[in-house]
Amino acid sequence: AQKITQTQPGMFVQEKEAVTLDCTYDTSDQSYGLFWYKQPSSGEMIFLIYQGSYDEQNATEGRYSLNFQKARKSANLVISASQLGDSAMYFCAMREVLSGAGSYQLTFGKGTKLSVIP
């Protein structure tokens, strides 16, 4: 069974500073995908960034980047130049390949609550 661990229940960051949210994973699969989602207090789940296990370059999407260290099985999310609107829960997730083509479920970590301080 796959497992996602987010060890930081809560984090604080000063506005305009960078912050790193930790995520480690456990899998015996060679091919897997890692995702980060943001959940504001309003409740919706917003896709942020994706990293494939065979991708050699770290993924980046605007102010979001993923620090992927395959040997350490870590996929940390880095948010640069934090904004007040970044205050939210952040979830790390791993794609689990189930039997049959097109069967992909996500396994989520417990999340990190990020608070941006003005």
Partner 1 sequence: DSGVTQTPKHLITATGQRVTLRCSPRSGDLSVYWYQQSLDQGLQFLIQYYNGEERAKGNILERFSAQQFPDLHSELNLSSLELGDSALYFCASSVGSQGPNQPQHFGDGTRLSIL
> Rounded to the nearest whole angstrom, what is the least distance from the CB of residue 13 to partner 1 in the complex?
23
> Rounded to the nearest whole angstrom, what is the least distance from the CB of residue 40 to partner 1 in the complex?
11
> Rounded to the nearest whole angstrom, what is the least distance from the CB of residue 26 to partner 1 in the complex?
16
Which residue lies nearer to partner 1 by CB, 54 or 117? Answer: 54
DSSP string, the chain: --EEE---SEEEEETTS-EEE--EEE---SS-EEEEEEE-TT---EEEEEEETT--SPPEETTEEEEEETTTTEEEEEE-S--GGG-EEEEEEEEEE-SSTT-EEEEE---EEEEEE-
Which residue lies nearer to partner 1 by CB, 101 or 118? Answer: 101
> Rounded to the nearest whole angstrom, what is the least distance from the CB of residue 91 to partner 1 in the complex?
7
Which residue lies nearer to partner 1 by CB, 37 or 79? Answer: 37
The residue ranges that bind partner 1 (CB under 8 A) are 31-33, 35, 37, 42-47, 50, 52, 91, 93, 95, 97-111
